[in-house]
């Protein structure tokens, strides 16, 4: 940000000029003009925040911007300036510690960013200079350099395409990492440039960098020996964007126009907004409460001090005179400094160390995710990745999961499963493919003839081979990736079946289904060889090459939901092949054929396959002539071209005969259904957001058991809107109200706690909406409707078990997430996806999860957590998330509690020392309490606690509901902990107070002073607080033992040590032998034991009493490891 | 802000390359270690507090605490304590005049005698305390007004006391030794105890002034500058605290081991009290023989050299005679607390037993699911 602003400032006058001029290859346009190379920024990408030099000031500045750190800084400064009861060290040391630890962490993270930056910046690129190819580091590219890029390389900066190795002066590019569109886009070289780049003398004039990816305006002046320069206009089709990848083209040359931070991609990058977890919000709320307590304590003390002092003789008795300076100070100023002093005295109530402990807990805790071997995927040989450790606990709070379909729920790996010809079922058997056992298969391919007639069968296969828009990938170079499938849709190398190398071919298509079908036909022996000048070549089973002249393609569109081709065979027959969804094909074929196939299609559909029906018809010469004329005419039409075309299409596609149907599987991810079921069991609502077709998405939802057989589907799509034949708006209104009535008003009022099982008698609803309708809902014509629709829509959705949103643009996905995120109760959302098109929703949701899928690493990089497979989500949420939440919630509550009972005695002591801000504890204790004596046990607890063991958490997904809605950090529990802290504080102070009514506590009659008093209270405090944690610990590993008993032992040791020596650097030897003397007194021992026991008594009782009572008795009983064992034994 | 922006552009096309080049070596290291710690499977003890486990503990606690409590209570009750207020607020008090006519500048000490009667004999060693009320020794300004290095015999601190001692740091241009408000306000009443015979004669009761301060204080924390000999020389160039009648090296001229900074009365005073009402050990009356009580019942006379004014801040002065048990002085609080807590525990034990019993029977029937 800063850098960009700086750039803007520095580049001020450059910017005023609306365009920049680039000298291609740094050759000046004309020899006469003086050549002043314009200055542009270099091609370095800087994502790191700091450099070695500015790290310290910048980091400190950023850290003190945090309200808590700033508060502690202020306290520290007050201590330095004002005469306060505790030395600045007591708060300065912890603050220093916190700042240092955070700085180290941030420094480390920035170092990683530097490393990643360097990786990009030092990436070698080839630059043409004076006809030579020079390898350079990417960061050294300057504007005007001619850069050469080879196939599958990423463009290092924004380039104007000058030359391509392809004959047609084009190149193919995917911009998957920019906008998520993974199809190949064609870009063109600047027309009529010289082939010889060396002699090219040209300048480019183009606009200043701007973030819009699809806009580019420029001109190119080409100078040829003293002639008038030729001018070519440049558009976005000439611009190759940094981040896009060159495909299908051996190499290209281009001239750099925008570099580094001025590339469109860099400009497009919106800074990842800092995600804050709900826990952090709770902490801040609690902090506010404690701040109020603190201020009121200080106010009470200040007021009482002046009331007390007004009594004669109290303020300044003869034995305790004020210094001259004190006497001279203005009364109000003194009151103010007194107030500040009290603030300082009680400031420990807001634990400085909590932040550092929380931070450490998060940082260290996230390693457990990385380390978890259950997240290791042997296929990609990687485990989980944690990008942010700030959100660990949020994983335990998820209420909505937004998942992408393709690549997340499914593997995005279309496979031809079976087909049916004339009602006979064919299933391809392959040793490698795993087939479900429940399908009745009728035998391998060679028995095909025995089923349907050979003629019909070949016709069907020809139809598959011809009726598509697939292109054969040109390059026949050996694909070294054995079975490696590119991320581009539909480009696959069939590596499963061993074939002669020349037949190893890739297909490119807009839809992966088509590729799957063509490949399916290939398996049965019919190979599509390619389209050459309107002629489609296919290789038949008998190794004959058949040629078909492609006459027309009747394109696919989502409304017709079918596509056709009209071809002419060698023999002169004109044929129309049509394939499409059953619903659109069946009405157009002879009805007697339908029944035979319908059964198969329906069976396939319920199994979650994508089904297509194939039909054909012979066109007589007249028919064809008519259709041909109609099509040509329609294509030339200027008005209503679409409608006219569709009319013609519909005319042609009638009276066909049905040949068969196909079933293509987009395989579900492993354990997708189980995962979804577990999530739903955990009370999480799963929304599927996909760009895919509704039918496909729906079948996937069924397959994932998101929709069950008894789920009533509420559809709000373009189709249902068009049903009534009325205006869409009206229909939308009507449907929304109807669904709302159904799902919200008529639904029995369920309480959050009661809905234990989803598959109960109550009706489940599933909601389906598509992109077009969604935008109607969100952007309704009238303002008032808009918000109303939005509300209705949200309410319906929230009452549905699952929601399916199909045909979503990436931005719409984010919109939906945002809408839910900001809805009532601000539920915690989680987005999971694998592709670049999911990035927007991953960034938008509270927690973004990337799947290390096939579609590049974009999602992973922008995610907060990345996992190899969808199935890992279950453990991530149910086990890790749950545990993290419980840990951190306990950590936070415990921290506030322990500091409250730490400071309360000190507050109470003011009533006995004339409100003089006399600290009860020694400075060393004040400082060390949070850093050393009580920090380690809670840290160990918050890293290792498993109040319920992982297996149980995974098996009983309902346990997740128990911590839903921030259950452990709501005001109820907070009040409980606060009261506990108050109770303990009161007990500690007054217990010792009554003991000290006679300070002769030693058996030799000697008396104890105020430091002994404080030490006894402090000892009770440290022990109680630590033992309280021990009571809460359900999972005692050796580390817990070591840390808990270790810190108690350390306290003892430290106290002896601290009191055992006259410390030369101390002004006062307050604690000299105080601790040892305390231990020599039996009464002190007795009171310590008594108070510890008494403080813990209610806690023990509560634990014991809570067990048998309460509504959750059973569950808790079933959950505790012991009884869990019992359960296991029973089973 | 710009964090990981470049990530977007990371070579997508290099995926295949990366996985090929990555090689087995890199890949292997990525597999998480299968250690118990990393997999969060450390063997763990998982205690569960149930009525069954807590129940015995309650009984045990009850059974231990009640006897201790009774023991404490009894021994506290057995401690003999006698307390007498000699402030002189009341006009009938023998010290009324001394209190009334107190003046910092008076040269002649005001002496008053308070007669009292001990109803019961005091066996074993008797400890004599003076008690002050409404005296804020724990006031912050007071507590910090001392210089421990000076008291430890540090020469430079002797000549240049800490700033904390203000306004009792210097007097008449010379550093005060010992400096500070605590030292300045040293309790300087002299108490003497006489036993009045049946025939009216006053027998002085010997008061031991050793062993009243903490051993470590006397021997380590407090030291005279330049050893215990020739204190007059050692303290040359320093001034006495303003409210003192004599300099520090004349606190106990009779005994060099009890003079100067290591005077035990001084050390006791320097240990600031925790609460505004406190007592401090003054003298010990040692037991003479096993047959006669240390202080037999009868009439006594307390003779006070009244030097210490407390009326100005509404304070009180007391003299306390007390015997001591293993738990220290008389304090019924601990005993009562122990008996109460023990009884509560025992009671809870009984309640828990009943609940546990009931719950158990319920539990054996259909309560466990499945």
Pairing between β-strand B170-171 and β-strand B174-175 as defined by DSSP bridges: antiparallel
For A1055, half-sphere exposure in the C-beta direction (CA atoms, 13 angstrom radius) is: 26
> What pLDDT, on a 0 to 100 scale, did the predictor assign at position B299?
92
Q: A556 CB near a chain B CB, below 8 Å?
A: no
Closest residue in chain A to residue B42, using alpha carbons only: A1037
A970 is in an annotated binding site: no
Query: Looking at the partner chain, which of B9, B129, B334 has a beta carbon nearest the beta carbon of A1086?
Result: B334
The answer to whether residue A448 scores a pLDDT higher than 60 is no
> Could B328 and A1103 be called an inter-chain contact, meaning their C-beta atoms sit closer than 8 Å?
no
The answer to whether residue B36 scores a pLDDT higher than 80 is yes
The H or E element containing residue A563 is: strand A562-569
Task: Please tell me the distance from the alpha carbon of residue B150 to that of residue A150, in angstroms, as a whole number.
Answer: 83
Q: A1060 CB near a chain B CB, below 8 Å?
A: no
- Give the residue, A786 or A337, on which the prediction is more confident: A337
> What pLDDT, on a 0 to 100 scale, did the predictor assign at position A991?
94
**What average pLDDT does the segment A485-512 reach?**
47
Pairing between β-strand A610-619 and β-strand A574-580 as defined by DSSP bridges: antiparallel
Burial code (b: 16+ CB inside 10 Å, e: under 16) for A704-732 equals bbbbbeebeebbbbbebbeeeeeeeeebb
Chain B positions touching A1090 (Cβ under 8 A) are 65, 334, 337-338, 341
The distance of B108 to chain A (nearest Cα, Å) reads 21
pLDDT tens digits for range A909-920: 999 999 999 999
Task: Please tell me the distance from the alpha carbon of residue B65 to that of residue A1086, in angstroms, as a whole number.
Answer: 10
> Could A1068 and B148 be called an inter-chain contact, meaning their C-beta atoms sit closer than 8 Å?
yes
> Could B271 and A1007 be called an inter-chain contact, meaning their C-beta atoms sit closer than 8 Å?
yes
* pLDDT band of A883, cuts 50, 70, 90: very high
pLDDT tens digits for range A612-650: 888 888 888 888 888 888 888 877 665 676 778 888 888
**What average pLDDT does the segment B136-163 reach?**
90
pLDDT tens digits for range A1037-1078: 999 999 999 999 999 999 999 999 888 888 888 899 999 999
Dihedral of the alpha carbons of A6, A11, A17, A23, in degrees to the nearest 10: -130
Structure tokens at B100: 């009334």
The answer to whether residue B89 scores a pLDDT higher than 60 is yes
pLDDT tens digits for range A2-46: 444 444 444 444 444 577 888 887 776 555 455 566 677 888 877
> Could B1 and A2 be called an inter-chain contact, meaning their C-beta atoms sit closer than 8 Å?
yes
Task: Please tell me the distance from the alpha carbon of residue A317 to that of residue B243, in angstroms, as a whole number.
Answer: 13
pLDDT tens digits for range A289-299: 999 999 999 99
Average pLDDT, chain B: 84
Q: For residue A207, list its beta bridge partners.
A: A19
Give the orientation angle of helix A352-371 with respect to helix A88-121, to 10 degrees: 40
Tell me which residues of A are annotated as active site: 404
> What pLDDT, on a 0 to 100 scale, did the predictor assign at position B214?
93
> Could A944 and B40 be called an inter-chain contact, meaning their C-beta atoms sit closer than 8 Å?
yes
The answer to whether residue A1108 scores a pLDDT higher than 70 is no
* pLDDT band of A997, cuts 50, 70, 90: very high
The answer to whether residue A854 scores a pLDDT higher than 70 is no
Handedness of CA A586, A590, A591, A594 (dihedral sign): negative
Task: Please tell me the distance from the alpha carbon of residue A355 to that of residue A69, in angstroms, as a whole number.
Answer: 9
The answer to whether residue A757 scores a pLDDT higher than 50 is no
* pLDDT band of A995, cuts 50, 70, 90: very high
Chain A positions touching B348 (Cβ under 8 A) are 1097, 1101
**What average pLDDT does the segment A722-751 reach?**
72
Residue among A745, A757, A733 nearest A795 (CA): A745
Closest residue in chain A to residue B23, using alpha carbons only: A381
- Give the residue, A1059 or A837, on which the prediction is more confident: A1059
Closest residue in chain A to residue B359, using alpha carbons only: A1108
User: Distances from the Cα of A967 to the Cαs of A163, A397, A938, A1030, in angstroms?
Assistant: 63, 9, 20, 22
Least confident of A428-432, B39-43, B100-104: A428-432
* pLDDT band of B2, cuts 50, 70, 90: very low
A692 is in an annotated binding site: yes
Q: What number of C-beta contacts closer than 8 Å exist between A and B?
A: 377
Residue among A882, A1030, A887, A1016 nearest A959 (CA): A882
Chain A positions touching B221 (Cβ under 8 A) are 1062, 1069, 1072-1073
Residue among A485, A498, A509, A510 nearest A412 (CA): A485
Residues ≥6 apart with Cβ < 8 Å to A733:
A785, A789
Average pLDDT, chain A: 79
> Could B185 and A1000 be called an inter-chain contact, meaning their C-beta atoms sit closer than 8 Å?
no
A838 is in an annotated binding site: yes
> Could B39 and A1082 be called an inter-chain contact, meaning their C-beta atoms sit closer than 8 Å?
no
> What pLDDT, on a 0 to 100 scale, did the predictor assign at position A801?
80
A83 is in an annotated binding site: no
ipTM: 0.91
The answer to whether residue A1121 scores a pLDDT higher than 80 is no
> What pLDDT, on a 0 to 100 scale, did the predictor assign at position A1041?
95
The distance of A49 to chain B (nearest Cα, Å) reads 7
> What pLDDT, on a 0 to 100 scale, did the predictor assign at position A469?
74
Task: Please tell me the distance from the alpha carbon of residue A270 to that of residue A1068, in angstroms, as a whole number.
Answer: 57
Q: A1087 CB near a chain B CB, below 8 Å?
A: yes
Task: Please tell me the distance from the alpha carbon of residue A591 to that of residue A202, in angstroms, as a whole number.
Answer: 67
> Could A1104 and B213 be called an inter-chain contact, meaning their C-beta atoms sit closer than 8 Å?
no
pLDDT tens digits for range A41-70: 888 877 777 888 888 898 888 888 777 788
**What average pLDDT does the segment A950-961 reach?**
90
Q: Which of A179-183, A482-486, B225-229 has the largest mean confidence?
A: B225-229
Asked if B134 and B314 count as a contact pair (C-beta separation under 8 A), the reply is yes
pLDDT tens digits for range A368-415: 999 998 898 888 888 888 888 788 888 999 999 999 887 788 876 778
Closest residue in chain A to residue B148, using alpha carbons only: A1068
> What pLDDT, on a 0 to 100 scale, did the predictor assign at position B343?
94
> What pLDDT, on a 0 to 100 scale, did the predictor assign at position A274?
65
Interface probe with B: pick from A251, A941, A1000, most Cβ of B within 10 Å:
A1000
pLDDT tens digits for range A471-488: 776 544 443 333 333 333
Percent of chain A at pLDDT > 90 equals: 19
> What pLDDT, on a 0 to 100 scale, did the predictor assign at position A307?
92
> What pLDDT, on a 0 to 100 scale, did the predictor assign at position A733?
80
**What average pLDDT does the segment A697-701 reach?**
82
The distance of A326 to chain B (nearest Cα, Å) reads 10
- Give the residue, B89 or A763, on which the prediction is more confident: B89
**What average pLDDT does the segment B342-346 reach?**
92
Structure tokens at A726: 């009325």
* pLDDT band of B359, cuts 50, 70, 90: low
Burial code (b: 16+ CB inside 10 Å, e: under 16) for B45-68 equals eeeebbbeebbeebbebbeebbeb
* pLDDT band of B185, cuts 50, 70, 90: very high
């Amino acid at each position: 940000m800063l850098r960009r602003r700086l750039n803007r400032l520095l580049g001020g006058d450059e910017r005023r000029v609306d365009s920049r001029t680039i000298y291609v290859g740094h050759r000046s346009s004309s020899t006469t003009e003086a050549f002043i190379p314009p200055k542009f920024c270099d091609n370095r990408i800087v994502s790191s925040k700091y450099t070695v030099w500015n790290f310290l000031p910048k980091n400190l500045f950023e850290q003190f911007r945090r309200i808590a750190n700033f508060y502690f800084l202020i306290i520290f400064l007050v201590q330095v300036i004002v005469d306060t009861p505790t030395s600045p060290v007591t708060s300065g040391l912890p603050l220093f510690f916190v700042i240092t630890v955070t700085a180290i962490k941030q420094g480390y993270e920035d170092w990683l960013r530097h490393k990643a930056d360097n990786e990009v910046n030092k990436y070698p690129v080839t630059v043409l200079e004076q006809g030579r190819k020079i390898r350079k580091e990417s960061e050294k590219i300057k504007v005007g350099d001619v850069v050469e890029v080879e196939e599958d390389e990423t463009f290092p900066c924004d380039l104007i395409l000058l030359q391509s190795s392809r004959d047609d002066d084009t190149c193919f590019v995917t911009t998957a990492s920019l906008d998520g569109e993974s199809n190949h886009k064609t870009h063109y070289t600047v027309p009529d440039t010289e082939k010889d780049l060396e002699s090219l003398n040209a300048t480019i004039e183009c606009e200043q960098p701007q973030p819009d990816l699809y806009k580019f305006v420029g001109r190119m002046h080409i100078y040829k020996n003293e002639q008038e320069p030729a001018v070519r206009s440049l558009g976005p089709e000439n611009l190759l964007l940094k981040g896009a990848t060159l495909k299908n083209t051996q190499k290209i040359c281009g001239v750099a126009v925008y570099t580094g931070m001025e590339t469109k991609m860099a400009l497009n990058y919106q800074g990842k907004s800092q995600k804050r977890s709900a826990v952090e919000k709770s902490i801040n709320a609690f902090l506010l409460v404690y701040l109020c307590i603190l201020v009121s304590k200080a106010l009470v003390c200040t007021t009482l001090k002046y009331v007390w002092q007004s009594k004669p003789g109290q303020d300044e008795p003869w034995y305790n005179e004020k210094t001259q300076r004190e006497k001279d100070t203005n009364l109000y100023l003194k009151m103010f400094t007194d107030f500040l002093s009290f603030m300082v005295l009680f400031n420990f109530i807001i634990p400085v160390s909590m932040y550092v402990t929380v931070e450490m807990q998060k940082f260290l805790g996230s390693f457990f995710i990385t380390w978890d071997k259950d997240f290791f995927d042997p296929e990609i040989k990687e485990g989980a990745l944690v990008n942010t450790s700030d959100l660990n606990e949020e994983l335990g709070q998820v209420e909505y999961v937004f998942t992408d379909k393709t690549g997340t729920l499914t593997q995005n790996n279309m496979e031809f499963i079976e087909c049916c010809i004339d009602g006979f079922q064919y299933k391809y058997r392959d040793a490698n493919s795993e087939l479900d056992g429940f399908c009745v298969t009728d035998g391998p391919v060679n028995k095909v003839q025995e089923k349907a007639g050979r003629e019909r069968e070949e016709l069907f296969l020809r139809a598959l081979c011809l009726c598509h828009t697939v292109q054969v990938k040109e390059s026949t170079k050996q694909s070294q990736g054995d079975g490696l499938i590119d991320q581009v849709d539909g480009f696959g190398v069939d590596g499963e079946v061993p074939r002669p190398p020349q037949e190893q071919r890739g297909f490119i298509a807009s839809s992966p289904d088509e590729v799957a079908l063509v490949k399916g036909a290939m398996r049965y022996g019919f190979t599509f060889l390619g389209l050459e000048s309107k002629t489609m070549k296919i290789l038949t089973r008998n190794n004959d090459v058949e040629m078909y002249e492609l006459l027309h393609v009747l394109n696919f569109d989502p409304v017709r939901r079918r596509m056709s081709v009209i071809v002419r065979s060698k023999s002169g027959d004109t044929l129309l092949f049509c394939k499409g969804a059953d619903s659109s094909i069946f009405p157009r074929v002879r009805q007697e054929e339908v029944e035979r196939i319908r059964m198969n299609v329906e069976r396939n559909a319920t199994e979650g396959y994508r089904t297509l029906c194939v039909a054909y018809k012979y066109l007589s010469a007249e028919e064809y002539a008519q259709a041909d004329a109609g099509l040509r005419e329609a294509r030339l039409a200027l008005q209503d071209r679409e409608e006219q075309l569709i009319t013609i299409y519909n005319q042609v596609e009638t009276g066909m005969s049905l040949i068969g149907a196909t079933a293509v599987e987009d395989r579900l991810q492993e354990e997708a259904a189980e995962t979804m079921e577990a999530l739903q069991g955990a009370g999480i609502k799963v929304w599927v957001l996909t760009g895919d077709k509704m039918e496909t998405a729906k079948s996937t939802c069924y397959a994932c058991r998101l929709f069950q057989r008894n789920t009533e589907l509420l559809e709000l799509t373009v189709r249902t809107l068009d049903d009534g034949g009325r205006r869409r708006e009206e229909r939308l209104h009507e449907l929304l109200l109807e669904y709302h009535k159904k799902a919200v008003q008529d639904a029995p009022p369920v309480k959050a706690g009661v809905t234990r099982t989803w598959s109960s008698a109550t009706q489940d609803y599933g909601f389906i909406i598509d992109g077009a309708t969604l935008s109607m809902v969100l952007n309704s014509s009238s303002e008032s409707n808009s918000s109303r629709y939005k509300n209705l829509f949200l309410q319906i959705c929230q009452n549905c078990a699952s929601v399916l949103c199909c045909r979503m643009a990436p931005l719409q996905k984010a919109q939906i997430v945002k809408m839910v995120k900001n809805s009532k109760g601000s539920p915690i959302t989680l987005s999971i996806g694998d592709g670049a098109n999911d990035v927007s929703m991953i960034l938008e949701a509270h927690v973004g999860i990337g799947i290390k899928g096939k579609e590049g690493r974009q999602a992973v990089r922008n995610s907060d957590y990345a996992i190899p497979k969808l199935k890992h989500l279950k453990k991530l949420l149910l086990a890790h998330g749950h545990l993290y939440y419980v840990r951190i919630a306990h950590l936070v509550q415990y921290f506030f509690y322990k500091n409250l009972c730490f400071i309360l005695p000190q507050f109470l002591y003011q009533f006995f020392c004339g409100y003089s801000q006399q600290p009860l504890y020694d400075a060393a204790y004040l400082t060390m309490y949070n850093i050393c004596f009580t920090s380690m046990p809670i840290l160990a607890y918050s890293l290792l606690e498993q109040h319920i063991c992982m297996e149980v958490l995974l098996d009983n997904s309902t346990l997740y509901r128990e911590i839903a809605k921030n259950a452990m950090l709501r005001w109820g529990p907070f009040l409980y902990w606060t009261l506990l802290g108050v109770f303990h504080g009161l007990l500690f102070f007054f217990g010792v107070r009554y003991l000290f009514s006679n300070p002769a506590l030693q058996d030799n009659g000697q008396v104890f002073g105020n430091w002994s008093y404080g030490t006894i209270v402090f000892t009770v405090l440290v022990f109680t607080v630590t033992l309280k944690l021990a009571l809460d610990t359900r999972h005692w590993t050796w580390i817990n033992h070591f840390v808990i008993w270790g810190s108690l032992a350390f306290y003892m040791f430290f106290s002896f040590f601290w009191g055992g020596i006259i410390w030369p650097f101390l002004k006062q030897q307050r604690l000299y032998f105080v601790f040892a003397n305390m231990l020599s007194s039996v009464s002190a021992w007795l009171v310590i034991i008594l108070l510890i026991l008494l403080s813990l008594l209610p806690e023990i009782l509560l634990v014991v009493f809570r067990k048998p009572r309460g509504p959750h008795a059973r569950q808790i009983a079933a959950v505790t490891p012991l009884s869990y064992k019992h359960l296991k034994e029973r089973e | 802000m710009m964090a990981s922006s470049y990530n977007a552009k990371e070579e997508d096309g290099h995926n295949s390359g990366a996985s090929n080049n990555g090689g087995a070596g890199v890949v292997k290291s990525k597999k998480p270690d299968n250690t118990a710690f990393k997999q969060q499977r450390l063997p763990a003890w998982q205690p569960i507090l149930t009525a069954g486990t807590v129940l015995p503990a309650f009984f045990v606690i009850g059974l231990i605490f009640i006897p201790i409590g009774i023991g404490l209570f009894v021994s506290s009750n057995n401690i003999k304590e006698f307390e007498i207020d000699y402030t002189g607020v009341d006009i009938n008090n023998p010290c009324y005049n001394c209190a009334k006519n107190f003046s910092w500048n008076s040269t002649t000490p005001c002496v008053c005698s308070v007669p009292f009667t001990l109803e019961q004999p005091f066996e074993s060693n008797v400890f004599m305390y003076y008690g002050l009320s409404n005296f804020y020794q724990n006031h912050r300004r007071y507590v910090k007004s001392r210089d421990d290095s000076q008291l430890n015999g540090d020469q430079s601190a002797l000549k240049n006391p800490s700033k904390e001692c203000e306004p009792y740091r210097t007097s008449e241009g010379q550093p005060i030794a010992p400096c500070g408000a605590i030292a300045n306000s040293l309790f300087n009443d002299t108490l003497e105890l006489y036993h009045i015979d049946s025939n009216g004669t006053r027998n002085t009761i010997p008061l031991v002034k050793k062993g009243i301060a903490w051993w470590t204080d006397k021997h380590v924390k407090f030291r005279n500058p330049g050893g215990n000999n020739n204190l007059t020389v050692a303290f040359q160039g320093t001034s006495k605290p303003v409210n003192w009648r004599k300099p520090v090296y004349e606190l106990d001229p009779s005994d060099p081991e009890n003079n100067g900074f290591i005077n035990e009365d001084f050390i006791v005073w320097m240990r600031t009290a925790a609460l505004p009402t406190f007592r401090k050990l003054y003298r010990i009356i040692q037991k003479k023989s096993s047959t006669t009580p240390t202080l037999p019942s009868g009439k006594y006379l307390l003779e006070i050299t009244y030097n210490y004014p407390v009326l100005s801040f509404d304070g009180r002065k007391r003299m306390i005679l007390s015997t001591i048990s293993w738990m220290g002085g008389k304090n019924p609080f601990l005993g009562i607390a122990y008996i109460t807590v023990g009884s509560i525990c025992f009671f809870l034990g009984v309640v828990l037993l009943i609940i546990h019993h009931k719950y158990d029977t319920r539990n054996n029937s259909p309560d466990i699911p499945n």
